[in-house]
Copies of this chain bind each other. A is one copy, B any other.
Amino acid sequence: MLFIDSIVDRIRYVVGSERVPLHEPSLNGNELAYVTECIQSGWVSSVGSFVDRFESDLAAYTGASHAVVISNGTSALQVALQLAGVKRDDEVLVPALSFVATANAVRHNGAWPHFVDNETSTLGLAPLPLGSYLSEISEQRDDGLYNLRTGRRIAAIVPMHTFGHPVDMRELSKVTSLYGIPIVEDAAESLGSFLEGRHTGNVGLCSTLSFNGNKIVTTGGGGAIITNDEALAKRAKHLTTTAKQPHPWAFFHDEVAYNFRMPNLNAALGCAQLERIESFVEAKRELARRYAEAFADMEEATLFLERPGTRVNYWLQTLILSSDHAAQRDEVLKASNASGIMTRPIWELLNTLPMYRNCPAAPLPVAQDLARRIVNIPSSPQLIKGI
């Protein structure tokens, strides 16, 4: 089809003629030097100076007063939900259109995801329909908000900043304040994204980051919890390091806990990566400008751009197909991947996956529509020369 060839051509115009992956890490700063230092010092494991430094560098960069690094982003979200008070058989409000980890972290606490709609302006959780939905299905009781249909407590909400685009936290906060629901931000994709001058992840009770290999900053694998609440940060550290009480030798652990430490080896990589985040963001923003220009006169597909008041990391560059071309999405994926341009669709709607099919869900008209129309295209910062 003509418009499909045209999409491939326009991407090629921006990224050149080579085979192009979706997102590759750039590791030519101090990554090797720090990892070498780590191995030569012998401190490769769960205690070490790079762990401490990565935590303070993350806090400084995000503006949160505390950061606790963790072995994995999903595990970070699991623990963050526990910190927010989520208990077995509670419900947690989650956008229907998100990576599966957002819902899995809820189930890892024995709680149930309750899917709500996304919105077109941010790709993230939609505050306005949420407000009217909650007025219909919930009631306040002494110990929190309850879902009248399931009888379960609604214990938290997890806005996820899709591909780095911040959720409308101002409107969302109005709704959650009204209903008394704690916010845990899933900022796995939005390190480097700002909303009204503040780094994403600073509105909720606490937030989580991910440093998987495809993220803007990688530690190989890993994550973090960031928060402005000191007691909560201390508890995050305690819960992720076997809840051992400090003692020169005794093994006294005071609660059921995890061993989710980030090894010093991985933190060393993270420190080197974080030094370079502003150059990564700048490159990815420049890439977005070039894609936007290349697609400017195309009606069938447009590049999704940041909205006013945000400064987006453009973690994954996002094409949105027009509604009357949604049916051709898989053809676009096939043609681009066949030509050596790695592309992928947005995730399957979480409420359609077998394990979440019977979970509660609000009406999801926007999420259902977006799920059919989004294609991510090559997004590595190295696509801009000099990185």
Contact = CB atoms under 8 A, between A and B. Distances in A.
Interface string A12-53: 000000000000110100011001100110111111000000
Nearest to A255: B355
Contact of A266 (B27, B42, B266): B266
Contacts of A333: 249
Interface string A203-216: 00000000011100
A180 interface: no
A362 B220 CA distance: 43
Contacts of A373: none
Contacts of A252: 348, 353
A44 B27 contact: yes
A138 interface: no
A265 B253 CA distance: 30
Contact of A46 (B212, B253, B256, B257): B212
B25 A220 contact: no
Interface stretch (A71-79, A279-287, A305-313): A71-79
Interface in A93-110: 99-101, 104, 107-108, 110
A242 interface: yes
A161 interface: no
A38 to B, nearest CB: 9
Contacts of A40: 27, 32
Contact of A260 (B72, B218, B266, B348): B72
A251 B100 contact: yes
B263 A213 contact: yes
A214 B48 CA distance: 13
A3 interface: no
A347 interface: yes
Contacts of A266: 220, 263, 265-266
The secondary-structure label for the interface of chain A is: loop
A318 interface: no
A42 B71 contact: no
A24 B71 CA distance: 21
A74 to B, nearest CB: 4
A219 B250 CA distance: 25
A80 to B, nearest CB: 15
A133 interface: no
Interface string A351-378: 0011100000000000000000000000
A21 to B, nearest CB: 9
Contacts of A61: none
B74 A72 contact: no
Contacts of A222: 263
Given A31-B39, A43-B213, A100-B244, 10 more contacts: A27-B40, A44-B220, A46-B220, A71-B71, A72-B260, A219-B263, A220-B264, A221-B259, A221-B261, A249-B337
